[in-house]
Amino acid sequence: MLTSCLWATVFGARRCACLEFTGPGGTVPGVTLKGVRLAGSAPERLAGWMFRRVPGTAGLWLEPCASVHTWWMRFEVDLAFLAWRDGVATVLHVERRVAPWRVVSCREAEAVLEAVAGALDGVRQGWSVRKAPCSCRCCCGLC
């Protein structure tokens, strides 16, 4: 169930997508994540990647969300806090290599992208997120 406009506006009704981060004006080469899964319900957001040895997808889009915990996680994650700004999904803040048993928040965020540590190394505040061309069936099998 889609709970917010951000995911639905950018990616439509699919529960899995390939994402591309780009710099201001789309001129800066960005970062692409294949097979990001939507966690749109409260139980999906709460569970996230808890108790997993490795994540099942390249990323997890938590929405609505402004705070993330890494309790019971077994690996570090990168977090991109996102909001709708000037008609695009925009990165408000990036936290890198967040260790297990931490809580991280960004009050203004509408969604959070959780990725394996290092996956968001090139992403910066102010960058935009958009759907990248790819076939999610081949990269995550969750569609």
Exposure on the CB side of residue 100, measured as CA atoms within 13 A: 11
Per-residue model confidence as pLDDT tens digits over 62-80: 888 899 988 888 889 999 9
Its pTM stands at: 0.80
Counting Cβ atoms within 10 Å, is residue 96 exposed (0-12), middle (13-18) or buried (19+)?
middle
Angstrom distance (rounded) from CA 41 to CA 102: 22
Asked if 14 contacts 121 with a C-beta cutoff of 8 angstroms, the reply is no
Per-residue model confidence as pLDDT tens digits over 11-30: 666 667 788 888 876 655 66
